[in-house]
Structure 1
């Protein structure tokens, strides 16, 4: 009787931990499916639908690619680690191999996050110029400039992702069993001392960029409100060159919603990082904070699907006419691959051609 009563609490705790672990794995697998499929569709729409090969389309494709990396590389590693823990009870990898993998997965997650917020900032700037200076839009916003901005964004983002471990030997990348992600941590039994401010680099950078993005969106929405009010008072639509199309107005609204969604998703992470620097250990909170941010990678596609009619039209063109045509004519698989390859070549030529429009 004594033995049974003493082992009962341990069994209860184990069953609760196992059930919670199964719930986490289920959530992660659903995120893998949603993030990977959703952003793969976005990339296919960009490659196959010609109307999306615009400066705004390039930026959206860059955002989709960053989210796609999270879905196919970052989240699957977390699933592997959590399943490994549930099945074997302990980590089967050596510490060295686990840390080596985290030195790949960690910068990928951080770099993709930086790319996402920077791309949303660029999208907001692009929409602001289109709304405030519609006559100058095609001169200021060109495909070539947009591609260069995207390349610089990716390079700087992944450079920033490795700054903490290069700047201080007391900071390492390690798999955190609380957040179930590879995160930066201080070496055990070593106080942060003078390098604690490096950990604040990420929230400071992201909130500075988010703040600027929010200000730009407020200015854009103010101009849109004034434009719609003036057009309503006149009672007729002007045929001048400064007229805004429904697509321009709707795109600005969509990017504004993207900005608010990312700000809401990143705020818990900022609170957690600041708390960690101050010495707080918030295990359960860290899981919710990091995975709210991770789930934002599939919310971007959901926002496009709900608010952007041009995106929905592109999906219909991709999976409607193309699929019906393929079913009726029965093309071979090699022809489909060749078609996708040709589309990719056309996009590359379009990106780097001499035409700046």
Structure 2
């Protein structure tokens, strides 16, 4: 109904604004503190950029491909693929972060040899590889012109086939990386827990314990980001599976699932603010600087 469509649109607009503001703050905070040159934080910035684009690009486009505008088949298909792209970038960035945490603990030489250029290259590779994966429907794996009428409005479900969404996008490109990341974080936490159980000894051992404690705090925060991603996206993917295997779909349920998946991009900056000290302190620094400048400008005007 019109009321349901209006509520869905307003919720999406609110989420989009939160995505843009929150993730812009993350990028600004890490840029100002030059933390962007550190491998893990470089990947977090890449993830924040993807989340920002979810608000600025993916959400407006997903609202358009909900039967709001008339387009050609290939235009509608292209817009739908762009919406998929940003999700896959997020998955690949999360995978890169998990691998980075694993290598830092399991390969001592890694943290000594890895450079910011390497981190930028890996982050760029995440975006590069996400493009062919998300634009696969453009090369033929789609619903085809037979299901699309030139008089019809652009609908995501009329151009993107459920086989692609379930078997390729979910099982291969989302679920498999999530399982790999779960295993990697399980190893990280087991390794840290076993080493922290050792009794403190000389200065070198105490220094190692302090390092492991910091690693545990950061890994916990990043694992929470991963868990929230899974909880936000799995409902929509499960609904796609139900729709494919039972041929039953509920539009309201899908709207809730889509909004929940988009909300994940708005939640991440909040997690960073409360769980990662470096980002939290950068937020505070920017806020103090902003309020100081405001107070100074008001004082000069008076």
* Structure 2: stretches of 5+ with no match in the other structure: 149-153
Equivalent position of 2:80 in the other structure: 106
For residue 124 of structure 1, the aligned residue among 90, 93, 98 is: 98
Q: Distance in 1 between matches of 2:255 and 2:105?
A: 40
Give me the whole-angstrom Cα distance separating, in 2, the residues matched to 1:167 and 1:60. Answer: 34
Indicate yes or no: 2:3 matched with 1:37.
Answer: no
Structure 1 residue 258: deviation in Å?
Answer: 1.1
Q: Deviations over 1:178-217 (max 9, x none)?
A: xxx9635459xxxx8xx94675100112100000000001
For these two proteins, the number of residue pairs brought into alignment is: 290
Equivalent residue number for residue 94 of structure 1: 70
Question: What residue in structure 2 maps to residue 264 of structure 1?
Answer: 231
2:215 is equivalent to residue 248 of structure 1: yes
What's the CA shift for 1:167? 2.8
The 10-residue stretch of structure 1 (234-243 or 279-288) with the greater mean CA deviation from structure 2: 234-243
Provide the C-alpha distance between the structure 1 equivalents of 2:167 and 2:250, rounded to a whole number of angstroms.
Answer: 17
Residue 272 (structure 2) pairs with residue 296 (structure 1) = no
- Give the alignment partner of residue 282 of structure 1, picking from 247, 250, 258: 250
RMSD: 3.2
The DSSP-based 3-state class of the residue aligned with 1:234 is: coil
Report the secondary structure of 1:281's partner residue. coil
Using the alignment, how far apart are the partners of 1:107 and 1:311 within structure 2? 32
The offset of 1:171, in angstroms, is 4.3
Q: Which runs of 5+ in 1 are unaligned?
A: 1-16, 86-90, 175-180, 331-357
Match among 69, 78, 101 for residue 53 of structure 2: 69
Q: Deviations over 1:91-115 (max 9, x none)?
A: 5x4343xx56534432222111011
Report which stretch shifted further, 17-26 or 258-267: 17-26
- Superposition TM-score, scaled by structure 1 size: 0.71
Moved more, 67-76 or 137-146: 137-146
**Cα deviation code 1:240-265 (max 9, x no counterpart):** 56751543221111111111111112
Runs (4+) of structure 1 moved beyond 6 Å? none
Q: Is the 8 A contact 2:273 2:283 kept in 1?
A: no
- Residue in 1 aligned with 2:289? 321
Contact conserved, 1:70 with 1:108, CA < 8 A, in 2? Answer: no
Asked if 1:167 is matched to 2:158, the reply is no
Change (3 A) 1:40 1:275: same
Q: 1:144 to 1:34 in 2, by over 3 A?
A: same
Per the TM alignment, residue 327 of structure 1 is displaced from its structure 2 partner at its CA by: 5.4
Going from structure 1 to structure 2, the CA distance change for 1:298 and 1:100 (only over 3 Å counts) comes to same
Q: Give the Cα separation in 2 of the matches to 1:184 and 1:142.
A: 43
Counterpart position of 1:209: 177
Contact 1:131–1:244 under 8 Å retained in 2: no
